[in-house]
Amino acid sequence: MSEFGIESNHPTETYKQGSAGESAFKKRLGIIATCVVGGSLVALYAVTGPFVAPALRKVCLPFVPATRTQIENVLKVLKTRSGSLADIGSGDGRIVTSSF
């Protein structure tokens, strides 16, 4: 029997056990790695979820363009504002082309 209480077939063979400090370090490293991977997956889902979700609908929503009255109302509000305009919702750029 060896000095660590482990039986060995070879008398010259010794087994080294890791110190308690190494074990605690490996455990902490494992927890940190798990948190990093988990956090990355949550962030990836948060970023890609809104882009993938519309494709999973059973009924697709139709495209309904803005009416002339809606465009005029938006342009009235924007006349008092200075700076650039970013159209992020109409889909065909009606507000952008009407603002020129």
Higher model confidence: residue 57 or residue 15?
57
Q: Could you report the per-residue pLDDT of 12-41, keeping only the tens digit for each?
A: 545 455 566 778 888 999 999 999 999 999
**Are 24 and 2 in a shared domain?**
yes
- Residue 2 contacts by C-beta under 8 Å, 6 or more apart in sequence? 8, 13, 14, 15
What's the mean pLDDT when you consider all of the chain?
Answer: 76
Q: Is the pLDDT of residue 75 over 50?
A: yes
Q: Which domain holds residue 9?
A: 1-61
Q: How far apart are CA 47 and CA 67, in angstroms?
A: 32
The reply to whether the predicted model has a pTM over 0.85 is no
**Are 37 and 86 in a shared domain?**
no
Domain count, the chain: 2
Average pLDDT for residues 41-53, to the nearest whole number? 89
